[in-house]
Amino acid sequence: MKTGFSVFLTSLVALGASWFGLVYGPLQQLGGAKQTVILQSTDDWPPQRTGDATLGLQVYRKYGCAACHTEQVRQTGAANELALTSLGVQKAADFKDFMKSMMIVPELMAASNTIIGNLEKWNGNLPVTLYSGDDSSVVSTLADKLKPIGLKTEARLVTQGADIARGWGLRQSVAADYLYDAPVQLGSLRAGPDLTMIGARHPDLAWQWQHLYAPRSEVPDSTMPATRFLFEVRHKVGGQASADALSLKPEFAPAQDFEVVPTAEARQLAAYLVSLKASAPLYEAPFTPVTAAK
């Protein structure tokens, strides 16, 4: 580092390398991304937002909602699960004995303790999870052995993690989920809950409005600031409430003769929130949708 030029060159190479790696590289890899196909379906993912929901993203940006809310779900792993859904003509006790006799099959030996343990805990109700773990060969072997004797099983890929257990998502968030978002609002702080699936948890626009107007009317221990500036408190016209007027609990309601109606921004924001449903299994984030279980 004797001359200014050598400092310049060093910095140029160092920063240039990171620029190529972390800016140019992702641009090449993801910059031209297109919709992907949902697993075991012909539908495309993600769906394009329309109307109010598109505008709602800009309201979300405008009021800095991402300062407290994330839109990204983490997953710690996934398990291959095999559940018994029907015993057919067999009896439960016979089935247990049959399973114990099967544990000498080489593919099942490593998992035998788990499987027997699950059976011991079984109270006789169906469906029952026979196996849940990393090894997909256990699931396929077991399913193959049980099918010929008339037992019905269902193999599922189950996602794991605290975020998923909280119901914030069905699977981890992946790059494809944000294809149409501009700006992408991933967020970095969970002062409030994750919103990746808020549209699935609360699909009702009226709920969203009431929650935005008075968060504690819907979630008593919420710390969310009320966004009353998104609503208009006005005189009831002719003593009649408007169709969109919020039906608030007495302690949050305005005075008699007054009603609270959402402004255009509140409608857009709520429409956007309701549109947030990262619910499709993808190639890079597979899982078996729960609706498929019988």
Partner 1 sequence: MNTDASKSPCTSEIDASCRVPLLALFGGAALWLVLGLVLGLAAAMSFHKPDLFANCPCLSFGHAQAAANDLLLYGFALPAALGVTLWIFARLSQAPLALPIVPVVAAHLWHVGVLLGTAAILLGDSSGHAWLEYPRAASALLMAAFVLVAVSAVATMGFRADRELYPSHWFLFAALLWFAWAYSSANIFLLSGHPPRGVVQAIIGWWLANNLIFVCLALLGLGIAFYFLPKFAGQPLAGSGYTLFAFLTLVLFGAWCGIPQGAPVPAWLPTVSAFAALLSVLPILAVSVVAWQTVRGAGFACAGGPFCFVRFGTLSFVLTAILYISEFCPRYSRVLEFTWFGFAVTQWQLLGFMGMILVGAIYHILPLVMGKELPQPKLAKLNFYLFAAGVLLYVVPLLIGGLEQGLKLRDPKIAFAQASGAALPFLRASSVGQFLLLLGSLCLLLNILVMTIQWKLGLVKTVIAAVLAPLPLPAVSPRGDQGEVKS
* Of residues 141-170, those binding partner 1 (CB under 8 A): 162, 165-166
Q: Distance between CA 61 and CA 182 in Å, rounded?
A: 9
Give residues 72-101 in contact with partner 1 (rule: CB under 8 A): 72, 74, 76
C-beta atoms surrounding 41 within 10 Å: 11
DSSP helix/strand/coil, 224: coil
How many residues can be counted in the chain? 294
Nearer to partner 1, 18 or 242 (CB): 18
Among 44, 107, 154, 181, binds partner 1 (CB under 8 A): 181
Give residues 205-244 in contact with partner 1 (rule: CB under 8 A): 215, 219, 221-229
Token output for 7: 């400092």
Spacing of C-alpha 249 from chain mean position: 30
Nearer to partner 1, 7 or 103 (CB): 7
Spacing of C-alpha 242 from chain mean position: 34
Closest CA to 246 of 274, 268, 267: 267
Q: Distance between CA 170 and CA 156 in Å, rounded?
A: 13
Interacting stretch for partner 1, rule CB under 8 A, among 100-108, 119-127, 143-151, 184-192? 184-192
Nearer to partner 1, 12 or 149 (CB): 12
C-beta atoms surrounding 29 within 10 Å: 10
Nearer to partner 1, 225 or 250 (CB): 225
Q: Does 29 bind partner 1 (CB under 8 A)?
A: yes
Among 32, 106, 148, 250, binds partner 1 (CB under 8 A): 32
Which neighbouring-strand residues pair with 156?
81
Q: Characterize 203-238 residue by residue with b for buried, 16 or more Cβ atoms within 10 angstroms of its Cβ, and e for exposed.
A: eebeebbbbbbbbebbeeeeebebbeebbeeeeeee
Give residues 47-76 in contact with partner 1 (rule: CB under 8 A): 61-68, 70, 72, 74, 76
Angle between helices 112-121 and 92-102 (to 10 degrees): 170
Q: Distance between CA 140 and CA 120 in Å, rounded?
A: 22
# of chain residues touching partner 1 (CB under 8 A)? 72
Q: Does 132 bind partner 1 (CB under 8 A)?
A: no
Q: How far is the CB of 184 from partner 1 (least distance, A)?
A: 5
Among 78, 143, 179, 260, binds partner 1 (CB under 8 A): 179
Q: How far is the CB of 109 from partner 1 (least distance, A)?
A: 32
Nearer to partner 1, 37 or 219 (CB): 219
Q: How far is the CB of 110 from partner 1 (least distance, A)?
A: 27
Would you say 157 and 72 are in contact if contact means Cβ atoms under 8 Å apart? no
Q: Does 37 bind partner 1 (CB under 8 A)?
A: no
Nearer to partner 1, 153 or 196 (CB): 196
Interacting stretch for partner 1, rule CB under 8 A, among 4-12, 89-97, 99-107, 113-121? 4-12
